[in-house]
Amino acid sequence: MTKVMQIDEKNVNFLKKVEELSGEKITLCEQCGICTTSCPMVDEMDFTPAGIMRAVQIGDETIIESKAIWVCASCFSCTVRCPRGIDLSKVTEALRQLTLRKNVDHIDLKEVKKEKLPAIAVVSALRKFTG
C-alpha cells in the first residue's frame, strides 16, 4: 500500500530553519547514499546520514530526537564525498543546536568518570553537547 504523507507549513518551516542555521541547501540531496557508505559511525546510529537528510527534506521534526545526530562527531568524511556538495556535518550541527540553544544539555557531567582526559577531549565534548 502506498503511504501518503501530507507536508504542511510546519514541515516547510522546519526545513527552512535547518537550511538557514546550517547554511546548506538541503533540497539538493538526491538520496544517493554516499554519505551513509562513507560514515564511520553509521553502525552506532539509529538513522543513516542519508536518512537524516530525507527527514529534514520532508520536514520531519522528530529527527532532532534521534541518537544519530549526537553520534555524528563531525569527521567530514561525507562532506568531502557528497556529489551535490552538501556539508552534512553542518546539517547535524544545526539539528543539535536546535536542542542546545534551548539550554538543554546532552551530557550529564555527573556521569563523566574522574580520569585524566586530554583538555581538547573535554572542551570539544562540552562544545558539542552543552548549550
Partner 1 sequence: MKIKKFPYYPGCTLKQTAKNFEKSAMGTANYLGIELKELPRWNCCGAVFSLTSDDVMHQVAAIRNLIRVQEMNDSGMLDNEYHLVVLCSMCFNVLKRANIFVTKDAETLFKINEFMDEEPDYEGTVEITHFLEILRDFMGFEKIKEKVVQSLYGLKVSAYYGCTLLRPREIGIDDPEAPTIMEELIASLGATPIDNHYKSLCCGSYHTVGKDKDIVARRTYKIIEGARENGADIIITSCPLCAFNLDNRQKLSKKIYPDFQYMPVLYFTQLMALAFGKEEEAGFEGNYIDPYPVLEKRDLIHNLKVR
Q: Which residues bind partner 1 (CB under 8 A)?
A: 20-23, 40-41, 44, 71, 73-77, 79-80, 87, 89-90, 93-94, 97, 107, 111-112, 116-125, 127-129
- Is 18 within 8 Å of 94 (Cβ atoms)? yes
- Is 74 within 8 Å of 89 (Cβ atoms)? yes
33/51 Cα distance (integer angstroms): 9
Our CB check for partner 1 shows the closer of 7 and 75 to be 75
Our CB check for partner 1 shows the closer of 7 and 105 to be 105
For residue 11, the minimal CB distance to partner 1 (Å) is 21
Helices (H), 1-100: 9-22, 34-38, 49-57, 68-71, 77-81, 88-100
For residue 106, the minimal CB distance to partner 1 (Å) is 9
For residue 21, the minimal CB distance to partner 1 (Å) is 5
